[in-house]
């Protein structure tokens, strides 16, 4: 419980911050905060000048430009906003209510689909995750709609988008509208009846993927050659940035054999690869390091993959990846758990991942993996002012997010949970 003095100070802080909404809401001078910039040492009792939504200056003493509103954050810490590298935010609201889920389409190969254009800025999930310091997420297309409607399993599901967690429109929310092409690599069950047939299906699907990429290369050559009979194909046109390595391919693979096959596929097709949600690494870790492939880890707070695995196999996987020299980020891969992103990283710290590396994994590492290292992920001059003000370590469950800024604007931290809490707290 806050003391009277602290409560008054924080109320004054909120009043000052709220006044920003009147005019120049994305311009302010934040004073007397401990700054954790992620690209250098901590700054004590420092100031951050934000102009037009971007960080203009960080330092010990900054003179306030004329007309700039000043916010006193004494006793608080400033961190970059957190980034979840695997969600369906904005695409899926209620999993069991199909009309609220717009995360997938029919068709095995749909590279032209862009998740960004389907994002619903008014999703209630955004409010919940912002309350825990998350300012940006990668939202992925998925296979849900296709499979529910009786369609075939999607393999190339479309393009993921890196977006801010607040905005009036999806255009306003976009950080990187085409962050990666999602390829859901086939999985091969082991030690189960019917393995021989499953292996044939697995090999056939990999062959289909190779054939699709080869088809895209033939299309590329035909387009370069030109000719009056050349016709644009939207599917194959969407593959061109992949073939010349402008657009990375995010490959979802859980098990070590599939990961090794995915790495081999990426080398064969000469594409940039990002590994999504592995549940084990094994010898594949060395191959990932050799080819400089970043890894987006799934939920640390999860059960083991196999019934005979150690109980802490999910807890220790981030530390294993870090020791192998891999650049890592975290994704929760389910809207229900996005708010727990900092605690997944915290669990990894408890099981061997250095604290600084865990913090990088949900800030600057994630930004760099998704091609936005020059825009977000750290508190630096020229970057968007995506930052959270806390009263402690963001990895601690008792730490409170006192204010959150996205592109320099303070966002409302109220959500359905806080409203219910206040409702029943004040029950007569």
Q: What's 239-261 look like in SS3?
A: CHHHHCCCCCEEEECCCHHHHHH
What pLDDT shows up at residue 146?
A: 42
Which residues lie below 8 Å from residue 201, measured CB to CB, with a gap of 6+? 186
Predicted pLDDT at 62: 92
pLDDT in tens, the chain (428 residues): 344 444 434 444 444 444 434 347 789 999 999 999 999 899 999 999 999 999 999 999 898 888 898 989 999 999 999 999 999 999 987 765 665 666 666 788 999 999 999 999 999 999 999 999 999 999 999 744 444 444 567 899 999 999 999 999 999 999 999 999 999 999 877 766 777 888 888 999 999 999 999 999 999 999 998 877 889 999 999 999 999 999 999 999 999 999 999 999 999 999 999 999 999 999 999 999 999 999 999 999 999 988 889 999 999 999 999 999 999 999 999 898 999 999 999 999 999 999 999 999 999 999 999 999 999 999 999 999 999 999 999 999 999 999 999 999 999 998 888 888 889 999 98
**CA pair distance 277, 199, nearest whole angstrom:** 22
Q: In terms of C-beta density within 10 A (0-12 exposed, 13-18 middle, 19 or more buried), how is residue 420 classed?
A: exposed
DSSP letters for 361-421: HTTHHHHHHTT-TTTSSS--TTSB--EEEESS-TTSTT--EEEEEETTEE-----HHHHHH
State the Cα–Cα distance between residues 13 and 73, nearest whole angstrom. Answer: 7
Q: Buried (b) or exposed (e) across 383-407, using 16+ Cβ within 10 A?
A: bbbbbbbbbebbbeeebbbbbbbbb
Phi, psi values for residue 417, rounded to 5°: -70, -45
pTM: 0.90
CA distance 367 to 348: 20
- For residue 147, the model assigns a pLDDT of 46
Nearest CA to 177 out of 167, 185, 191 is that of 167
**Closest to 109 measured CA to CA, from 203, 182, 198:** 182
Degrees to nearest 5, angle at CA 289 with 142 and 330: 40
Strand partners, 410: 405
Q: At what angle do helices 341-350 and 313-323 cross, to 10 degrees?
A: 80
Which H or E run includes 86? strand 82-87
Task: Tell me if 50 sits within 8 A of 30, measured CB to CB.
Answer: yes
């Amino acid at each position: 419980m806050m003391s009277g003095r602290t409560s008054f100070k924080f109320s004054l802080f909120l009043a000052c911050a709220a006044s920003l909404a009147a005019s120049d809401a994305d311009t302010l001078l934040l004073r007397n905060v401990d700054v954790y910039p992620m690209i250098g040492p901590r700054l004590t009792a420092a100031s951050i000048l934000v102009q037009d939504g971007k960080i203009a200056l960080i330092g010990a003493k900054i003179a306030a430009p004329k007309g700039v509103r000043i916010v006193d954050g004494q006793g608080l810490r400033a961190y970059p906003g957190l980034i979840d590298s695997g969600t369906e935010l904005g695409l899926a609201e209620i999993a069991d209510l199909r009309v609220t889920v717009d995360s997938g389409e029919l068709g095995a190969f749909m590279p032209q689909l862009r998740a960004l254009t389907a994002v619903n800025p008014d999703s209630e999930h955004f409010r919940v995750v912002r309350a825990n310091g998350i300012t940006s997420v990668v939202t992925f297309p998925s296979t849900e709609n296709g499979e529910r409607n009786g369609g075939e399993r999607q393999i190339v599901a479309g393009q993921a988008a890196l977006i801010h967690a607040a905005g009036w429109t999806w255009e306003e929310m976009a950080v990187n509208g085409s962050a990666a092409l999602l390829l859901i690599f086939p999985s091969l069950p082991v030690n189960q009846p019917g393995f021989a047939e499953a292996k044939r299906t697995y090999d056939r699907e990999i062959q289909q993927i190779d054939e699709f990429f080869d088809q895209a290369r033939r299309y590329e050559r035909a387009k370069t050659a030109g000719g009056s009979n050349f016709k644009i194909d939207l599917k194959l046109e969407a593959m061109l940035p992949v073939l010349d390595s402008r657009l990375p391919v995010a490959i979802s693979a859980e098990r070590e054999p599939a990961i090794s096959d995915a790495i081999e596929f990426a080398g064969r097709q000469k594409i940039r690869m990002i590994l999504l949600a592995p549940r084990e690494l094994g010898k594949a870790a060395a191959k990932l390091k050799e080819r400089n492939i970043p890894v987006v880890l799934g939920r640390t707070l999860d059960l083991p993959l196999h019934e005979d695995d150690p109980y802490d196999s999910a807890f220790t996987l981030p530390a294993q990846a870090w020791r192998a020299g891999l650049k890592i980020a975290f994704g929760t891969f389910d809207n229900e758990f996005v708010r727990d992103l900092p605690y997944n990283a915290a669990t990894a710290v408890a099981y061997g991942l250095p604290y600084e590396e865990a913090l990088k994994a949900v800030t600057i590492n994630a930004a760099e993996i998704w091609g936005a290292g020059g825009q977000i992920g750290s508190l630096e001059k020229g970057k968007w002012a995506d930052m959270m003000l806390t009263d402690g370590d963001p990895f601690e469950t008792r730490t409170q997010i006192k204010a959150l800024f996205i592109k320099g604007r303070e966002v409302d931290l109220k959500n359905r949970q806080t409203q219910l809490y206040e409702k029943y707290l004040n029950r007569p």
